[in-house]
């Protein structure tokens, strides 16, 4: 069904590049339109879990992922204020044959861009879309330069502020969650253990893990607050504000924060999962369809799953049947993942007696039933969209 079909993909992020390769490998003629002057990724680290790694392996990118990332061995949950490990989730021992990886966003984008080009994808830069028109056949794009592009099939991988999503659903304003996040990286000597560490405190938490073989420390720090912060990946903040927010945390954490000179800051907003992911010759995936809060490390993994399923559906049937099938295969799972991420935000920020009771429960589970804490996410990590 895809042999020789022309597909236009908006956005050269994770979702756009991986869906471009998936479609091209099945015979489509794919063009990616990216508004930036170069393919690059802001931000720092992300985590690829087994459900996402299976997609990369099926697309022939498993070796590239292994070469450009670091295997994660465990997750430590730590009392950020009193100190001391609450529980360890031992990934290496409990899930020895599965792939959990720490990877720099820029490194992942590089390997995906190389993979897309190797599959024959054309990537056009400096392509800013002003309007998306659906309802006419075929979908049409009006570009900032005045050019109009007719698309045989349009895929919106254009992120939080997707024009394709708006064309399908209208504009729905997100709401501020009452949380902001700082992110930064710090140079290290390369001897960091391959462990994600989550320091939990009242109304705030901090996550850190190694990147690039331990030469960088990735830091994401989240605080609950009433004040609004803009939803952007490119704002910077006074490092003093970050240090004050975590001044009650253990010296180890405060020492890292003292070294940060230019943290990025973004407000965390909750967007609803789109009601319509497809229609009129267009489809959306990744953040364009279902933005999620960063508390389950599944944003990139959901995009990888979406890409495989969308390409698989289009390879099996004409778009009129394939696109509804794509949404039907993905929507229930995605809503469950987004809900689980929302719940994690609450669990990390407990205070007082509720926190003491929750930490006690985690310690007892870690001591007497360590498998239970990881097994409750079997539904997430064991899922394989490439099977069948």
Q: Sheet holding 45-48: strands in order across?
A: 45-48, 101-104, 70-71
**Helix pair 50-58, 299-316: axis angle to 10 deg:** 40
**Helix pair 299-316, 319-348: axis angle to 10 deg:** 170
Distance CA 321, CA 317 (A): 6
> Is the Cβ–Cβ distance between 268 and 225 less than 8 Å?
no
Q: How far apart, in Å, are the Cα atoms of 164 and each of 132, 161, 272, 334?
A: 6, 9, 15, 19
381 is catalytic: no
170 Rama sector, left if φ>0, alpha if ψ -120 to 50, beta otherwise: left
**Helix, strand, or coil here: 135?**
coil
Q: Which residue has the tokens 């720090």?
A: 221
> Is the Cβ–Cβ distance between 186 and 219 less than 8 Å?
yes
Q: Which of 209, 326, 348, 381 is catalytic?
A: 209
211 Rama sector, left if φ>0, alpha if ψ -120 to 50, beta otherwise: beta
What are the residue numbers of the active site?
209
């Amino acid at each position: 069904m895809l042999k020789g079909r022309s597909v236009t993909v908006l956005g050269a992020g994770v979702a756009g590049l991986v869906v471009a390769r998936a479609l091209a490998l099945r015979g489509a003629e794919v063009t990616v339109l990216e508004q930036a002057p170069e393919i690059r990724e802001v931000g720092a680290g992300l985590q690829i879990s087994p459900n996402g790694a299976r997609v990369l392996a099926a697309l022939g990118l498993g070796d590239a992922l292994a070469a450009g990332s670091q295997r994660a061995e465990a997750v430590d949950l730590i009392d950020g204020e009193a100190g001391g490990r609450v529980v360890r989730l031992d990934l290496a021992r409990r899930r020895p044959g599965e792939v959990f990886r720490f990877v720099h966003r820029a490194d992942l984008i590089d390997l995906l861009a190389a993979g897309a080009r190797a599959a024959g994808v054309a990537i056009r830069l400096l392509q800013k879309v002003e309007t998306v028109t659906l309802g006419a056949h075929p979908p049409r794009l009006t570009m900032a330069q005045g050019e109009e592009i007719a698309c045989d099939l349009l895929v919106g991988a254009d992120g939080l502020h997707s024009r394709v999503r708006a064309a399908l659903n209208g504009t729905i304003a997100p709401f501020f969650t009452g949380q902001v996040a700082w992110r930064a990286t710090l140079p290290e000597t390369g001897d960091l253990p391959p462990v994600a560490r989550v320091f939990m405190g009242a109304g705030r938490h901090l996550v850190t893990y190694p990147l690039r073989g331990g030469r960088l420390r990735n830091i994401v720090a989240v605080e609950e607050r009433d004040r609004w912060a803009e939803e952007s990946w490119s704002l910077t903040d006074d490092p003093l504000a970050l240090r004050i927010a975590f001044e009650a945390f253990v010296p180890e954490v405060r020492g890292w924060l003292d070294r940060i000179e230019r943290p990025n800051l973004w407000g965390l907003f909750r967007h609803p999962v789109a009601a319509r992911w497809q229609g009129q010759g267009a489809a959306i995936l990744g953040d364009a369809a279902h933005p999620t809060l960063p508390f389950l490390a599944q944003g990139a993994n959901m995009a990888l799953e979406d890409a495989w399923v969308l390409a698989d559906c289009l390879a099996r049937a004409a778009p009129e049947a394939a696109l509804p099938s794509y949404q039907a295969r993905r929507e229930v799972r995605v809503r469950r993942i987004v809900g689980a991420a929302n719940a994690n935000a609450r669990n990390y920020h407990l205070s007082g007696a509720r926190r003491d009771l929750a930490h006690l429960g985690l310690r007892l589970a870690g001591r007497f039933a360590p498998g239970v804490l990881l097994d409750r996410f079997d539904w997430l990590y064991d899922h394989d969209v490439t099977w069948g």
